[in-house]
Amino acid sequence: MPDHDLTLSDLQDRVRERAAAYLTIHSEVESPAALAAAIGLIPDRQWAEGDPRGRLRRPAPNSVVEYESGLSEEHSPTDHAAALVARLRPYCERIRALTAAEGTWGVVDIVEHAGFATEWFANTEAWVEPEDLHALAEMGVALRFDAYVAAPDEA
């Protein structure tokens, strides 16, 4: 049975956060090599349509290149978002050319994992500066925030 009578100090000691931010470019038309060449930046990860993906190893529905922020997971979601945009800013026009093409789209994910919460202690936050939002809009990519907060008995 989980202990719900913890102090704020106990909770702060047990919260384990990790975060990430990454851009994923999907294409129903281009190969990962063609996507990477069009952007001009070697991706951190890539896979082709049909490659086994995920826990269930199902075939990928499309080709993908993925770019990470470059920060370790201990940094905040805000730091990850800023670092990712700074890394990709020189490639804005090239990314936009890809995302404007038929069958190709991009998504920036900002992700946070919090390892413990109760009904009175569950907060997650990410801040994206206006100039960084503008750069993402210029790239023609969607922005998605994902927060995963574990229940007290899962920590």
1-25 pLDDT tens trace: 444 555 555 544 445 578 999 999 9
Domain map of the chain by residue range?
8-154
46-104 residue pLDDT tens: 999 988 887 778 888 899 999 999 999 988 889 999 999 999 999 999 999 999 999 99
The model's pTM: 0.81
Give me the torsion for CA of 130, 136, 140, 144, rounded to 10°: -100
Would you state the pLDDT for residue 14? 47
- CA-CA distance, 18 to 76, in Å (whole number)? 7
